[in-house]
């Protein structure tokens, strides 16, 4: 067994010492292979039931997030609401199945209409008629739970892991009058550092942005914080150190390893009673360069995501984001 381990280690080290020309060829071949697969099977070039379900879920989530915003604007999301109505109809016509994405979308629209009726806001008659014509659906949404208090939301912070994992949710509402101490963020990062990584290389790096003007400048480059980003007290920019990568075959390893760290960090932030929301970084090169300049991120680090952080207010709502049953996620071979 020991000889096999030594041989494997030597093989890895020899590969790491391959000439740059060979490494470039490996990187080119890998990029070509995976780009081809991405184009062949993703929703970029193919429309399947799974693609339609994913888009329906995304669209419903956009509307539900609006229901949970700190200052919900009545009549928000008119175009998205109309699109969701049309997509639900198309989904049922094309796939004939009232599954979770369909049911959740219906319920979000029913909730949207009910909230506006309760507040005396007149939605367009055709929109209301279309929503009323949808079948009843019983899936929780942001308005099916009374406002959370901090004690209710963080009740599972010291619970056994199954309860803690189920209780952790993204928060898009913060109290800007209650600053988050950097020490609490550091404690969360210390907890997150237990995340596994390939060969224990630990590539994750976290930039803690504390100044308001710098936070705003960074968030202006990100496309998913509208309506709540201005309230966050601290911003985490999570990166991966490219210098920990030795071989062109490891092209995807950085995001895989940093992704595990991010999930650990999210649980740790919940444990520390810090409201937070993980924000995507789908950036064009010019955006990425601008963020590096704005936040002082070294060139050898790849940005993977941002995380908005803040103290939760006395009462707040969250997007429920209903989950599939476990059977959706696995295949036994």
85-135 pLDDT, tens digit each:
999 999 999 999 899 999 999 999 999 999 999 999 999 999 999 999 998
User: What pLDDT, on the 0 to 100 scale, is given for residue 23?
Assistant: 86
Pairing of β 301-310 and β 275-279: antiparallel
Domain ranges of the chain: 49-144, 150-310
Residue 181, strand partner residues: none
Pairing of β 234-241 and β 275-279: unpaired
The tens digit of pLDDT for each residue in 184-227 reads 999 999 999 999 999 999 999 999 999 999 999 999 999 999 99
- Cα 25 to its chain centre, rounded Å, is 33
Q: Number of H helices and number of E strands within the chain? A: 12, 4
User: What pLDDT, on the 0 to 100 scale, is given for residue 128?
Assistant: 96
For residues 164 and 168, give the distance between their C-alpha atoms in angstroms, rounded to a whole number: 6
Architecture label for domain 150-310: 3-Layer(aba) Sandwich (3.40)
**Could you tell me if 103 and 280 are in contact, meaning their C-beta atoms sit under 8 angstroms apart?**
no
**Could you tell me if 288 and 129 are in contact, meaning their C-beta atoms sit under 8 angstroms apart?**
no
Share of the chain above pLDDT 90, in %: 80
Helix extents (H) in the chain: 2-16, 20-41, 49-67, 78-95, 100-118, 125-133, 150-153, 161-167, 182-192, 212-219, 253-271, 285-295
């Amino acid at each position: 067994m020991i000889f096999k381990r030594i041989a494997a280690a030597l093989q890895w080290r020899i590969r790491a010492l391959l000439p740059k020309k060979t490494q470039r060829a490996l990187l080119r071949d890998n990029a070509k292979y995976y780009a081809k697969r991405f184009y062949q099977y993703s929703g970029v070039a193919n429309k399947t039931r799974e693609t339609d379900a994913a888009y329906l879920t995304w669209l419903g989530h956009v509307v539900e997030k609006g229901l949970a915003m700190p200052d919900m604007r009545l009549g928000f999301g008119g175009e998205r609401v109309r699109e969701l109505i049309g997509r639900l109809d198309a989904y049922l016509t094309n796939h004939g199945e009232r599954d979770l994405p369909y049911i959740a979308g219906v319920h979000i629209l029913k909730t949207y209409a009910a909230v506006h009726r309760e507040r005396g806001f007149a939605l367009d008659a055709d929109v209301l008629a279309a929503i009323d014509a949808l079948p009843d659906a019983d899936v929780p949404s942001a308005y099916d739970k009374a406002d959370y208090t901090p004690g209710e939301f963080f009740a599972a912070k010291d619970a056994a892991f199954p309860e803690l994992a189920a209780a952790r949710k993204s928060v898009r509402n913060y109290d800007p009058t209650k600053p988050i101490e950097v020490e609490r963020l550091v404690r969360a990062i210390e907890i997150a550092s237990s995340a596994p990584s390939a060969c224990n290389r630990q590539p994750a790096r976290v930039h803690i942005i504390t100044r308001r003007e710098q936070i705003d400048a960074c968030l202006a480059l990100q496309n998913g914080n509208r309506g709540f980003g201005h309230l966050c007290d601290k911003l985490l920019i999570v990166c991966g150190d490219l210098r920990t990568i030795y071989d062109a075959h490891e092209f995807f390893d950085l995001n895989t390893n940093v992704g595990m760290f991010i999930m650990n960090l999210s649980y740790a932030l919940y444990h520390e009673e810090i409201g937070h929301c993980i924000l995507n970084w789908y950036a064009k090169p010019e955006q990425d360069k601008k963020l590096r300049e704005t936040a002082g991120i070294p060139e050898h680090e790849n940005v993977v995501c941002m995380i908005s952080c803040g103290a939760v207010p006395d009462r707040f709502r969250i997007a429920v984001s209903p989950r599939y049953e476990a059977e959706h996620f696995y295949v036994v071979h």
